[in-house]
Structure 1
Amino acid sequence: MTSERYKIENGLQIIEIKVSDVKQLFDLRDPAPFREKDLDENFTRYLEAYTDEVTTRYPLKIKIGITNLSEDVTPNIIKEAIRQYFEYQILLKRSQLTKNMKTAQLFLLIGISLLFFCLVVAQWIHKEIPSNVGTTLREGVVIFGWVSMWKPIELLLFDWYPIYDRIRVYRRLSEAKTEVEFERR
């Protein structure tokens, strides 16, 4: 989806942000110095949402215009803070992906064991209770065994992708060219 809303200059997708003060870019609850501060949640959500909406065909460029000058924060500090923040988010998401895969493997082991047990019980029921009640009970046990495989299969086949997608978004943002201009009123 491309429209006038999304600028492309020199082969770069432009994300333009205007703020009155550099403090609007950082989480002020974080006591760390500016270079190590977390970015503001609204600022990062905006960057992520924009990145989600635009095509991946073009690399990103973040243009930040700041109205009030700040002596203690230089454009390089802001650029580095943005890069480091999103690189850290990539590490967190990779860790989450690894944890999900380990959980999926554990659940798969449990699910396969339970399925095997249910199939053995179903065979026993088939031999020992040959009536309609036995058939119904046997089918219920088999269904329960297969249902126990639902979550591991969901984790292995589907739940990894949203995490992987966030990693891709964070990678694009960490690699984005960043331009910071202090504008005078």
Structure 2
Amino acid sequence: MTTAFPAEAIELRVDRIAQLFHSLDPFPFRERDLDQEAEEYIVSWARELAADQPINIVVHIPDSEAQTKAARELGEAFARYFAYRADFLQRDLNELFRVGRRSLAVGVTILIACLASAQVVSGYLVEFPFRRLVEESFLILGWVANWRPLEIFLYDWWPLVRRRDLYRRLSEAAVETKPYPNGQSQIPMAAPA
């Protein structure tokens, strides 16, 4: 029997829902971009939460804001924004792999040319120490030409995948609004479980 764990919560408080979104964005509310500070706050908290648990975003807003259309559409706006960011990161990942494949083709070509050049040059040079230096120089050049594709395929893609997956989790987060009385200056904020 499996036990259902409660969703972990990211809590934030605003005086107006509009504070969460970029003010210069001309699109309708549901299609607006999140404000950079709001996004950074949500993403930084989401990084701290367990990766195998669902995320719950709780937005504390004044009573007067709780009854607005924006409050009802907040979950959809968050889901759309974070899904867009996840898709954007997927495109970045695809571009990184495209660059990696091109770099690998160039690097392998240079490596083959360097290996062949090392063999040809070593046949013409009779002085052993100098011949060894030239051979090793060609080998080093060939492997250095493959440094970037190896870096891409071994290391560079991991952070993008982690961030993409985090944005996907955030796009699936349950968003809840909790009204507080107008004029209340402070509300206790719970840290994520």
Structure 2 match to 1:59: 54
Structure 1 match to 2:30: 35
Checking the alignment, whether the CA contact within 8 Å between 1:75 and 1:179 is kept in structure 2 is no
Alignment match of 2:20 (pick from 25, 33, 50): 25
Unpaired runs of at least 5, structure 1 = 1-8
1:81 and 2:81 matched: no
Query: Which 4+ residue blocks in structure 1 deviate beyond 3 angstroms?
Result: 70-74
Structure 2 match to 1:119: 115
Partners of 1:28 and 1:35 lie apart in 2 by 13
1:77 corresponds to which letter in structure 2? Answer: E
Deviation of 1:90 after TM superposition, in Å, equals 1.0
Deviation of 1:50 after TM superposition, in Å, equals 0.7
1:130 corresponds to which letter in structure 2? Answer: V
Partners of 1:60 and 1:91 lie apart in 2 by 19
Checking the alignment, whether the CA contact within 8 Å between 1:60 and 1:173 is kept in structure 2 is yes
Partners of 1:173 and 1:14 lie apart in 2 by 11
1:51 corresponds to which letter in structure 2? Answer: A
Partners of 1:130 and 1:78 lie apart in 2 by 77
Show the 5 A alignment for 1:154-169.
154-169=151-166
Deviation of 1:10 after TM superposition, in Å, equals 5.7
Classify the secondary structure of the residue corresponding to 1:28. coil
Partners of 2:70 and 2:178 lie apart in 1 by 10
Partners of 1:74 and 1:142 lie apart in 2 by 63
Structure 2 match to 1:44: 39
> In structure 2, do the counterparts of structure 1 residues 141 and 184 end up closer, same or farther at CA, with 3 Å as the change threshold?
same
1:177 and 2:174 matched: yes
Structure 2 match to 1:90: 86
Partners of 1:64 and 1:115 lie apart in 2 by 56
Partners of 2:49 and 2:157 lie apart in 1 by 22
> In structure 2, do the counterparts of structure 1 residues 10 and 148 end up closer, same or farther at CA, with 3 Å as the change threshold?
closer
Unpaired runs of at least 5, structure 2 = 183-193
1:12 and 2:7 matched: yes
Structure 1 match to 2:106: 110
Deviation of 1:134 after TM superposition, in Å, equals 2.2
Q: Once the two structures are aligned, what percentage of the paired residues are identical?
A: 31
Checking the alignment, whether the CA contact within 8 Å between 2:22 and 2:33 is kept in structure 1 is yes
Structure 2 match to 1:3: none
Cα RMSD over matched residues? Answer: 1.6
Q: How many residue pairs get matched?
A: 177
Checking the alignment, whether the CA contact within 8 Å between 2:17 and 2:71 is kept in structure 1 is no
Partners of 1:106 and 1:66 lie apart in 2 by 50
> In structure 2, do the counterparts of structure 1 residues 86 and 22 end up closer, same or farther at CA, with 3 Å as the change threshold?
same
Checking the alignment, whether the CA contact within 8 Å between 2:118 and 2:135 is kept in structure 1 is yes
Checking the alignment, whether the CA contact within 8 Å between 2:114 and 2:139 is kept in structure 1 is yes
Checking the alignment, whether the CA contact within 8 Å between 1:122 and 1:142 is kept in structure 2 is yes
Structure 1 match to 2:146: 149
> In structure 2, do the counterparts of structure 1 residues 156 and 10 end up closer, same or farther at CA, with 3 Å as the change threshold?
closer
